[in-house]
Amino acid sequence: MIFINIGFIGAGKVGKSLGIYLKKHCLTVAGYYSRSFESANNAANLTQSTAYISPDELTAGCDIIFITVNDDALPDVDAQIAALLRRKTWRCKVWLHTSGAHSSECLKNIKIAGGAVGSIHPLQSFSDPQISAKFLEKTFFTIEGTAQALLVIQEILNAADADYGQITVRQKALYHTGAVVISNYLVTLLDFGMQCIETAGIDKKAVFSAVAPLIEGTLDNIKRYGTVKALTGPIVRNDAGTVAAQYDSIKKYLPEKTELYRILTIATIKMAENKRITLSGAQKLKCLLKKENYDE
């Protein structure tokens, strides 16, 4: 067991979920500060901790402070805490933000003022805190920061028996791009496919139930075999006629999706070429999908 007090600046979904998760693993959650005391109090009730009325009060009682605010609020928190540290003698506090998009450099003023800074990002989306806390048990975390911050993060995650990996400050934006593509753009892709099926005549209320086994089977294949080997369908069969028919149907019934279909198909061809299909077969499919072949 680690005898440290953990506090949270920010009492939204991420802060609440992490608080519940850490407490479950016998880590001491001291409490929360939020611009809304009501929010802080709600989070404190969920974790049987304290709602603090100011960042000063929270910091005085904590060794590690998670900054779980929206990304846009990080510069203000950084400036506010740096000003606080310049007035105090606290030099052993560790400050960790949970943004996926930003590195620990966004806490540069806290670092200059003497604080150890880092970032710890759980690779998942958050909704209901109780449910999200359960998902955290299987979540992968990415970490980076100063040497002192990294030691503390690793100690916390080891205590929670969590999986994690370290990245550099420069890799943070690319890492977050990958997370957005997988999370947000997967939703976009599913919406596109479901529109096609609905437009083909399947009742809107039945579409998701109809495609759910296909989604689950695809994810299982990726887990078992990896992305390239999980590919099925007309591209890996080198079925140019089917690809052409699909493209024509998109142009006719969902013309606003024509370019999206073309881009996705070409990206899939490139992924499969010289692995699942020959270079000549790939080139034949690419030529079929040239934009000029489908311009009015």
Can you give the residue ranges of every domain in the chain? 5-167, 175-293
Per residue in 44-102, pLDDT tens? 999 999 999 999 999 999 999 999 999 999 999 999 999 999 988 777 899 999 999 99
Provide mean pLDDT across the span 276-286: 92
pLDDT above 70 for 19:
yes
pLDDT at 91: 73
Residue 85, Cβ neighbours under 10 Å: how many?
21
pLDDT at 90: 76
Q: Which are the contacts of 8, defined by CB distance < 8 A and separation ≥ 6?
A: 15, 18, 19, 29, 31, 32, 33, 43, 58, 65, 66, 68
Provide mean pLDDT across the span 263-281: 94
d(CA 191, CA 213): 16
- The CATH superfamily label for domain 5-167 reads NAD(P)-binding Rossmann-like Domain (3.40.50.720)
> DSSP secondary-structure letter at 255?
G
pLDDT at 241: 93
* CA nearest to 189, candidates 211, 210, 222: 211
291 pLDDT band, cuts 50/70/90, is: low
Cβ–Cβ < 8 Å for 291, 255 = no
Per residue in 200-220, pLDDT tens? 999 999 999 999 999 999 999
Per residue in 114-160, pLDDT tens? 999 999 999 998 999 999 999 999 999 999 999 999 999 999 999 99
Q: Which residue has the tokens 């072949």?
A: 293
d(CA 188, CA 191): 5
d(CA 99, CA 124): 12
pLDDT at 2: 60
Per residue in 215-263, pLDDT tens? 999 999 999 999 999 999 999 999 999 999 999 999 999 999 999 999 9
pLDDT above 80 for 22:
yes
pLDDT at 288: 86
296 pLDDT band, cuts 50/70/90, is: very low
* CA nearest to 290, candidates 231, 247, 241: 247
